[in-house]
Amino acid sequence: MTDRDDAARDRSRWSDLDRPPLDGTALRRGLVREGGLWTDVEVVQRTGSTNSDLVSRAAEGRAGEGAVLVAEEQTAARGRLDRRWTAPPRSGLFFSVLLAPGEVPVARWGWLPLLTGVAVATGLSRAAGVDTALKWPNDLLVTVGGAERKAGGILAERAGDAGVVIGVGINVTLRADELPVPTAGSLALAGAVSTDRDTLLRGVLRALEQWYGRWRAADGDPGPSGLQETYAAGCATLGRTVRAELPGDRAVTGEAVAVDGDGRLVLATAEGVRQPIGAGDIVHLRPA
């Protein structure tokens, strides 16, 4: 890319007045504090994937726990199962955080994506005034025109032996003609009272800091920390008939009846079996 291209990109930052750029300085001032979880907040204009960047930085010793990397645009963002995540520049929140819960047993680290989902839903409900729900294991749902739509997703990746990078993508001002698929949605389409991305990001990160602190204080136990109960209360998957599409072209259909202590979705099948699902693609078959 030439210097002329860079200059043109900088001038275009304000070309869509409905989508102003994030204020990195204000975000750092509001989130980074002594004794707090967040140690650095960096906003970049464009990158392939904030998750990939932060995993690399952690491996090279250039990022520690509490680092937050935010991109105005991602060109190679990934969701679960290596699905692509695309959105226009500044139309959403695309960020990753580095966590290092060293004192928590590794067997409980699987709760981190679910914990992040609870924090995202909490933060957005407060800051955007939108009712949100969680689809197991990592989707954020909103209601648009009476239909359930996916407005966000979460991806967790190990960063060496001691860290986990959690990536979050949230559609904020995506318009109907910009939706990548008919089942997608955005906070704006769901009637958000605010789409100020600075305010939304601060709300989500503060909620994540609170929930992560509670979870760590309980040694990662989802029961005493209140995480398991709160996740279940906000999970749109529970109480529905679902199909779990599993690795190896296998599938299990049943009613989602619980999220167990390991964060697995428990299905009650027609054969009377309670089948825990630890990984897979979940399809909602019946409205709640």
Residues 6+ apart with CB under 8 A from 260: 266, 276
Burial class (CB in 10 A: 0-12, 13-18, 19+), 4: exposed
Question: What are the pLDDT digits (tens) for 226-267?
Answer: 999 999 999 999 999 999 999 888 999 999 999 999 999 999
Give the pLDDT of residue 6: 46
Q: How confident is the model at residue 158 (pLDDT cuts 50, 70, 90)?
A: very high
- What is the Cα–Cα distance from 186 to 86, expressed in whole angstroms? 13
Q: How confident is the model at residue 79 (pLDDT cuts 50, 70, 90)?
A: low
Q: How confident is the model at residue 2 (pLDDT cuts 50, 70, 90)?
A: very low
Looking at the predicted structure, is the pLDDT value of residue 284 above 50?
yes
Q: What is the mean pLDDT of the chain?
A: 92
Give the pLDDT of residue 247: 87
pTM of the predicted model as reported, rounded to 2 decimal places: 0.91
Q: How far is CA 54 from the centre of its chain?
A: 15
Looking at the predicted structure, is the pLDDT value of residue 87 above 90?
no
Q: How confident is the model at residue 13 (pLDDT cuts 50, 70, 90)?
A: very low
- What is the Cα–Cα distance from 52 to 44, expressed in whole angstroms? 14
Looking at the predicted structure, is the pLDDT value of residue 181 above 50?
yes
In the predicted model, what is the mean pLDDT of residues 30-45? 98
Looking at the predicted structure, is the pLDDT value of residue 287 above 90?
no
The residue that leads in pLDDT, 38 or 131, is: 38
Q: How confident is the model at residue 76 (pLDDT cuts 50, 70, 90)?
A: confident
Sign of CA dihedral 268, 117, 245, 185: positive
Looking at the predicted structure, is the pLDDT value of residue 219 above 70?
yes
Looking at the predicted structure, is the pLDDT value of residue 78 above 90?
no
